[in-house]
Structure 1
């Protein structure tokens, strides 16, 4: 059965015409930006769950984006959860995935519930307007794909944001102080979930002008719930 809703698609930095704006899943918005050596992929399955995959490519060893898209689409056709998506990518691409950066987020049909798995990204950040920022650190490919692997379930409150980052945006070596600088530079407290409501070129501009980006793949994928005043407007 073919997936529906969002088609499987990606944006690699040179394809500046896609997408024109943020994607909508209920009251949730989905966006992303790629500077280099990465791609992000979005697909909705027949149950209404939308899977967002962020892949950082190791040492500029690029796979064809269409090859990754094909696996993501096949997983959506089978309504795979993030663990099974990660296993499918590893099975298909083998040793390449051991050095890649990978994070997978699966957004529920109504948008408020997100299932996430950080396999090897430096961090997936959850910002809540009341509780601040919580980083979900990588669990590693071995632990992430074994029989005990589990995902995290996050319920987004109005104004909340999930931001998946690669090494060139928020390095693994970043301290808590570096994290606070990053959060301030991106305007989490001011924009919150609205950061996911901007088009990829604008999000890329925020990255370039707000941060001293590090080495390695440079990309983010954002999932955000609009603030309360916009939800009731």
Structure 2
């Protein structure tokens, strides 16, 4: 890579880290840049997953106040994300390229509908099953695990899916849910990345460039995201999700 290409990846990492901290879908920024630089799709996906890990970590650190008191929840959902991330990483290595592409836009559209309808759906679910609504139950564990599979495989809009699931199945504020989302995304990216390190080709220079940018972007994104009202945050989620769908369908 040339020096300018490295700089471009750092800047893409900043933007992706910021978007991931607030909503998700940072992969849709860095992945195309890696392809444009000349990396094959699987190498680009593997390197992108590893490069975005530090940004997810700094994003979670930026939301540390919202994570207070959520330790048991993080352990439970984190375990589901860990399993899903490993499975998704293995699927990336064994399935033909693009195997999930047809369902990705459908998943994102469904997630956006759920995010918009979340306040109403959450109230209705709380009325019918208040005790389950407090922690999400088996349904949330299964949903987080499946989202982890998707995140380990590709990851674009993983955050949108997590926000939709947790927003409906847990009695919690959107900002605290967003904090948990950052931790779960970090777990998925980390475990998938560890799998890739041992069995796949990794472009380490690209990983380093994205990681540097993503760390800065994660902190900046958390600072901005924590100040957004639930209505504005939901609007940002929808805009980013729609942009993700357009990019996937037109690339």
Q: TM-score, normalised by structure 2?
A: 0.27
Q: Please state which structure has a larger fraction of its residues in helix.
A: 2
Structure with larger RCO (C-alpha < 8 A, sep 6+):
2
Q: TM-score, normalised by structure 1?
A: 0.28
Bigger CA radius of gyration: 2
